[in-house]
C-alpha cells in the first residue's frame, strides 16, 4: 500500500487528486492521511466527496473513510467501466477540479467516456472551464490527449448550476513533451461571459482590457440568462508552440473596469516572462509528463509551492525523478505507461 501525507508542502486538495489518479492507474492501494491539513477547513470538502464518489461509480473501486471533513481515506482501485456519467458537484462546486481527478483515469480507458458535469464553471480558487478548454487541454493535446468540452450553461458562486459535456478519448500512450520555447505570439483571444446582467458590463470589461493590454485581442462577448448571476473574463495567448492564459471574476462592489484590468495585467505579466507554460499548467502537466513515454523538457515560470508539492507526490508514487536545470527547465524521463485496455 502506498501512503501519502496530505499535509506535505502546500497541503491542499491537489495531493488527493494526483494520488487517487496515479494509484488507480497503477492498480496500487492508497492510504492518504492529513488530507488538506494546511487549509482553514481541513479534510475532505464537498467537491472531493463528489470526485471520489464519481470514481467509485465509474469503476469497481472501494473507498473507506469518505465523509465530509475526513482527514484519512483508504482507496482500493478497480477497473474503469466505460460509458456515460452524470456528475453533480452541487451548488457552485468547481467542475474543473472534479474533472482534474477523473481525466487521467478516463484517458486510459478502453472506450471514450462521456461526462455531464453540473456545478460551478467559473468560481474562485479553481481554473475556469474556458482555461481548461483553451489552454491546458491544448497543451495536453500535444502529448496525444484528446478531450472535447462543450459549455452548455454557466455556473457562478453561490448558486452554481453550470453544465458542461465532456468526451474523453482513450489513448494508448502519452507522448513526451519538449516545450522550451513558446515561439512568437500569434494572437490573444478571450471571452467575457455574464448571466442576468446588463450588456454594458461585458462591454466595459472588454474596453478595460483594450486599455490595459498592449496587444491586440479578439474577445467574444457572451450574455446569458441562467440560474446563477455572475460575470468573468478569460484570456489566452496563442503562441507558435504553446498557450498561456489569465482571467478574472466579477464580485459585488468590484467594477467592470477592475475585472478587465486584472485579467489584462495578469496576462501581460505572463507575456513578459520567457516561460513556455503558465503557473497553473505547470502544476497540472506534471502527472502527464511522468506517465509519458520518453524524455520531456518543459520551461516553467517559477517553482511554486503547488508545483513542488505535485512533483513530490508524483515522484513518490511513480518512482520517477524530476531534474530542474537552466532557468526552471523541468526534465523527466516518463515511465511510458501503456493502456493495456486498447
Length of the chain: 342
Q: Which of 333, 322, 323, 330 is nearest to 291 (CA)?
A: 333
For residues 83 and 81, what is the distance between their CA atoms, to the nearest angstrom? 7
Helix pair angle (13-26, 305-318), 10° resolution = 20
Query: Measured between alpha carbons, how far is 273 from 292 in angstroms, rounded to an integer?
Result: 27
Average pLDDT over residues 272-284: 91
Q: Please compute Rg for the chain using Cα positions.
A: 19
Which of 75 and 215 is assigned the larger pLDDT? 75
98-128 in b/e form (b: 16+ CB < 10 A) is bbbbbbbbbbbbeeebbbebbbbbbbeebbb
> What pTM was estimated for this model as a whole?
0.95
Q: pLDDT over 90 for what percent of the chain?
A: 94
The per-residue pLDDT for range 240-268, each reduced to its tens digit, is 999 999 999 999 999 999 999 999 999 99
Q: Which of 48, 67, 76, 306 is catalytic?
A: 306
Is 306 assigned a catalytic role? yes
Q: Is the pLDDT of residue 233 over 90?
A: yes
Q: Minimum mean pLDDT among 155-164, 196-205, 266-275: which range?
A: 266-275
C-alpha cell at 69: 471533513
CA distance 332 to 124: 32
pLDDT digits (tens, 9 = 90+) for 305-332: 999 999 999 999 999 999 999 889 999 9
DSSP β-bridge partners for residue 165: 116, 150
Among 319, 191, 303, 311, smallest CA distance to 248 is for: 191
Give the residue among 267, 135, 256, 277 at the shortest CA–CA distance from 213.
267
Q: How confident is the model at residue 301 (pLDDT cuts 50, 70, 90)?
A: confident
Q: Kindly state the average pLDDT of the residues 84-95.
A: 92
Render pLDDT for 149-184 as a digit per residue (tens, 0 to 9).
999 999 999 999 999 999 999 999 999 999 999 999
Q: Is a pLDDT exceeding 90 seen at residue 37? A: yes
What is the rounded average pLDDT for all residues in the chain? Answer: 96
* Band (230; pLDDT cuts 50, 70, 90): very high
- Predicted local confidence at residue 214, as pLDDT: 86
Q: How far is CA 279 from the centre of its chain?
A: 11
Residue 88 — very low, low, confident or very high, per pLDDT cuts 50/70/90? very high
Amino acid at each position: 500500500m502506498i501512503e501519502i501525507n496530505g499535509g506535505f508542502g502546500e497541503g491542499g486538495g491537489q495531493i488527493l487528486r494526483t494520488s487517487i489518479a496515479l494509484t488507480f492507474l497503477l492498480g496500487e492501494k492508497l492510504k492518504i492521511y492529513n488530507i488538506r491539513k494546511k487549509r482553514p477547513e481541513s479534510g475532505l470538502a464537498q467537491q472531493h466527496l463528489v470526485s471520489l464518489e464519481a470514481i467509485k461509480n465509474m469503476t469497481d473501486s472501494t473507498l473507506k473513510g469518505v465523509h465530509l471533513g475526513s482527514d484519512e481515506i483508504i482507496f482500493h482501485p478497480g477497473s474503469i467501466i466505460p460509458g456515460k456519467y452524470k456528475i453533480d458537484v452541487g451548488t457552485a462546486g468547481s467542475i474543473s477540479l472534479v474533472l482534474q481527478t477523473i481525466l487521467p483515469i478516463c484517458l486510459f480507458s478502453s472506450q471514450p467516456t462521456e461526462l455531464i458535469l453540473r456545478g460551478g464553471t467559473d468560481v474562485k480558487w479553481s481554473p475556469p472551464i474556458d482555461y481548461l478548454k483553451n489552454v491546458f487541454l491544448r497543451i495536453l493535446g500535444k502529448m496525444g490527449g484528446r478531450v472535447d468540452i462543450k459549455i452548455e450553461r454557466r455556473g457562478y458562486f453561490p448558486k452554481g448550476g453550470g453544465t458542461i459535456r465532456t468526451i474523453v478519448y482513450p489513448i494508448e500512450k502519452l507522448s513526451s513533451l519538449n516545450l522550451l520555447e513558446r515561439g512568437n505570439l500569434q494572437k490573444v483571444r478571450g471571452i467575457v461571459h455574464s448571466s442576468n446582467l446588463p450588456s454594458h458590463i461585458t462591454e466595459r470589461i472588454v474596453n478595460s482590457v483594450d486599455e490595459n493590454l498592449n496587444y491586440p485581442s479578439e474577445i467574444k462577448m457572451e450574455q446569458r440568462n441562467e440560474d446563477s448571476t455572475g460575470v468573468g473574463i478569460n484570456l489566452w495567448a496563442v503562441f507558435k508552440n504553446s498557450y498561456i492564459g489569465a482571467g478574472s471574476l466579477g464580485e459585488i462592489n468590484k467594477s467592470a473596469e477592475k475585472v478587465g484590468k486584472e485579467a489584462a495585467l495578469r496576462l501581460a505579466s505572463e507575456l513578459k516572462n520567457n516561460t513556455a507554460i503558465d503557473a497553473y499548467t505547470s502544476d497540472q502537466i506534471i502527472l502527464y509528463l511522468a506517465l509519458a513515454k520518453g524524455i520531456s523538457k518543459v520551461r516553467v515560470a517559477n517553482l511554486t509551492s503547488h508545483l513542488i508539492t505535485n512533483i513530490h507526490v508524483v515522484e513518490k508514487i511513480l518512482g520517477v525523478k524530476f531534474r530542474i536545470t537552466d532557468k526552471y527547465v523541468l526534465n523527466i524521463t516518463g515511465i511510458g505507461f501503456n493502456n493495456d485496455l486498447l
